Chain A
Amino acid sequence: MADSLAANSAATGSAASEPTRRDFLFIATGAAAVVAAGATVWPLISQMSPDASTLALSTTEVDLSGIAEGQIVTVKWRGNPVFVRHRTQKEIKEAEDVPLSQLPDPATDQSRVKKPEWLVVIGVCTHLGCVPLGHQGQYDGWFCPCHGSVYDTSGRIRQGPAPRNLDLPTYKFMGDTKILIG
């Protein structure tokens, strides 16, 4: 043992020498240990991600026929509120007429709706997750009571600490009076 160690250190001492079988085993064992450690830790981290039953709850149907013009209805989708707003002509016009240069997070109103009279947005303030209050604030869109963010009738951020417009869920129209969110 002592002889082989001495031989080994003598071998590594000279720059031109070949790697030894011990060097190879050392690196191969180390690499296998790193992979094994990663494979052990990954399930412990992954278990915290949304589970299969949470992912399965990912669609909600909304009947639009009962929503009067000017009214906002809140439905629950994946644990969060979604605002379905039947916009008036005045609200649509206000949303469409704003120059993009006035918006902190520029987006046209057309890009945020499928039909102008129906605005569907996730009712979670993009600042820290509170639920904004409808028909409030300077632009008559939404106002978040937690930290004072103000959104317009297209759910776009106009004032306050929120960094983004209200997020849009994926949804599609199932006929004229029904949408499927998710």
Chain B
Amino acid sequence: MTGHSTYVPKSALARWFESRLPIMGLVHSSFIAYPTPKNLNYWWTFGGIATFMLGAQIVTGIVLAMHYTPEVTMAFDSVEKIMRDVNFGWLLRYAHANGASMFFVAVYVHIFRSLYYGSYKAPREVLWILGVIIFLLMMATAFMGYVLPWGQMSFWGAKVITSLFSAIPFVGDAITIWLWGGYSVDNPTLTRFYSLHYLLPFMIVGVVVLHVWALHVTGQNNPTGVEVKSVPKDTVPFTPYATIKDAFGMVCFFIVFAWFVFYVPNVLGDADNYIRANPLVTPAHIVPEWYFLPYYAILRAIPSKLGGVVAMFSSIAIFAFLPWLDTSRIRSARYRPVFKVFFWVFVACGIGLGYLGSQPPEGGFVIAARILTAYYFLHLLVIIPLLGLFERPRPLPASIADSVLGSGPPLGSRVAAE
């Protein structure tokens, strides 16, 4: 449902330019005339919110780079200098550090919205896989950014995560030394992480462009999961309808963001990271940032080094195969009563793993992490494929317009609409 451009250049100059580079027509057809399903709810605003957070991270990051020194004896001090001496440095750094968390909040909501409404299913598989790639790039970027302040948690987080590669049979140790540029995490590691931390966000921008392109080829999914059947009846133009809704969603999100930045800027961080990195002393309890905790719990749940590493990477890679693991042709959980229950159990499982990732790896925590790790894979590899075969879905509305306006033939859609 590509929106055909209805852009008409108004001035002679615009006509001259458009006939040479039709960029205004592209913007017009993509973000103004573009038809959006008329029933999109506020869960659909998080894609725009995530894009804004990416932009905010790039802007704050570029200015922080003007003051930061990537050298092991000066990195920690330069961050403290940003906090104390640089004009508004405290604001820029807190906005960047909390902005990373907010970016992950927006992206997690965006991902779970796709899972709930079946947005990953045909014909949106490529769109979904691009999203998985963006998520992996975000994780790499966030991890390397966290190393830059060169506090204790920076150093030991870097050591533990890069040591994951030493689990690779035969060549693991050689790869790890190559990644470090030495025999431990040290200055060469810091400088390369800084270089890549600056590069990767722009690679994310590139994949986001592909993601939006793929989105505009297939058109957006919507809460009914029923494809647009009639553009005039089922859709509204992107501007003003989606633009205003997205803008309102963003403003509400900014309130939460601002609360973190101005009232509790360190609540998501770790106090140990205000201690300078010491390669000879490991902190008593190493924990990653909150957005990595579920994967960290999976890593520690497996009582084998290689097994834990494989399980952790698989837990994310498996999402790339989700469009084919899900055998149900019904997209939206609204019309899948059993899937809906399992969806919320899976959300609870993810939150549970996050909690366990923050706890020491002892006794009952380890057992619980093993049970939840097993359930995580059971959900994706067994429950999701089987549900599509055995579940009896509710009747779908004939169209988006029918679901919104309640007209049309009585297909039982009144029962289904919530």
Residues of chain B at interface, number, CB under 8 A: 34
With an 8 A cutoff between CB atoms, is B96 at the interface? no
With an 8 A cutoff between CB atoms, is B212 at the interface? no
Q: Are A163 and B305 in contact (CB under 8 A)?
A: yes
| A-contacting residues, B273-305, CB 8 Å | 279-282, 284-286, 300, 303-305
Q: Are A79 and B184 in contact (CB under 8 A)?
A: yes
With an 8 A cutoff between CB atoms, is A114 at the interface? no
Measured CA separation A144–B285 after assembly (Å): 10
Residues of chain A within 8 A of B179, CB atoms compared: 48
Stretch binding the partner chain, chosen from A18-26, A30-38, A62-70, A145-153 = A145-153
Q: Are B279 and A79 in contact (CB under 8 A)?
A: yes
With an 8 A cutoff between CB atoms, is A178 at the interface? no
Contact of A162 among B159, B160, B305, B362 (CB under 8 A): B305
Contact of B305 among A45, A76, A161 (CB under 8 A): A161
With an 8 A cutoff between CB atoms, is B181 at the interface? yes
Q: Are B305 and A54 in contact (CB under 8 A)?
A: no
Contact of B308 among A130, A146, A161 (CB under 8 A): A161
Measured CA separation A148–B369 after assembly (Å): 15
Contact of A48 among B159, B181, B361 (CB under 8 A): B181
Shortest distance from the beta carbon of B161 to any chain A beta carbon, whole Å: 8
Measured CA separation A114–B133 after assembly (Å): 51
Residues of chain A within 8 A of B282, CB atoms compared: 130-131, 144-146
Interface string of A76-98 (1 = CB under 8 A from B): 10111100000000000000000
With an 8 A cutoff between CB atoms, is B178 at the interface? yes
Interface string of B130-172 (1 = CB under 8 A from A): 0000000000000000000000000010011011101000000
With an 8 A cutoff between CB atoms, is A176 at the interface? no
With an 8 A cutoff between CB atoms, is B47 at the interface? no
Measured CA separation A78–B181 after assembly (Å): 12
Given A130-B282, A146-B282, A146-B286, also A161-B304 (CB < 8 A) = yes
Q: Which residue of B lies closest to A58 (CB)?
A: B183
Contact of A50 among B162, B183, B300 (CB under 8 A): B183
Q: Are B160 and A74 in contact (CB under 8 A)?
A: no
With an 8 A cutoff between CB atoms, is A11 at the interface? no
With an 8 A cutoff between CB atoms, is A29 at the interface? no
With an 8 A cutoff between CB atoms, is A106 at the interface? no
Contact of A130 among B156, B182, B305 (CB under 8 A): B156
Q: Which of B285, B304, B361 has the most CB of A within 10 A?
A: B361
Contact of B182 among A54, A123, A131 (CB under 8 A): A54
Residues of chain A within 8 A of B192, CB atoms compared: 48
Residues of chain A within 8 A of B186, CB atoms compared: 54, 79
Shortest distance from the beta carbon of A164 to any chain B beta carbon, whole Å: 9
Residues of chain B within 8 A of A146, CB atoms compared: 160, 282, 286
Q: Are A79 and B160 in contact (CB under 8 A)?
A: no
Measured CA separation A81–B280 after assembly (Å): 6
Q: Which residue of B lies closest to A131 (CB)?
A: B282
Shortest distance from the beta carbon of A182 to any chain B beta carbon, whole Å: 10
With an 8 A cutoff between CB atoms, is B188 at the interface? yes
With an 8 A cutoff between CB atoms, is B83 at the interface? no
With an 8 A cutoff between CB atoms, is B208 at the interface? no
Measured CA separation A144–B286 after assembly (Å): 11
Q: Which residue of B lies closest to A164 (CB)?
A: B305
Q: Which residue of B lies closest to A81 (CB)?
A: B280
Residues of chain A within 8 A of B160, CB atoms compared: 128-130, 146
Measured CA separation A48–B183 after assembly (Å): 12
Measured CA separation A54–B72 after assembly (Å): 14
Given A81-B279, A163-B305, also A145-B188 (CB < 8 A) = no
With an 8 A cutoff between CB atoms, is B207 at the interface? no
Measured CA separation A51–B362 after assembly (Å): 40
Q: Which residue of A lies closest to B156 (CB)?
A: A130
Instruction: Give 17 A-B contacts (CB < 8 Å), ordered by A residue.
Output: A48-B181, A48-B192, A50-B183, A54-B182, A81-B279, A81-B280, A124-B184, A127-B305, A128-B159, A128-B163, A129-B162, A129-B166, A130-B156, A130-B282, A146-B160, A161-B303, A163-B305
Excluding A129-B160, A130-B286, A161-B305, 10 further A-B contacts by CB distance (< 8 Å) are A51-B188, A78-B184, A79-B186, A79-B279, A128-B163, A129-B159, A129-B162, A130-B156, A130-B160, A146-B286
Show the binding face of B for A, using Cβ within 8 Å.
156, 159-160, 162-164, 166, 177-186, 188, 192, 279-282, 284-286, 300, 303-306, 308, 361-362
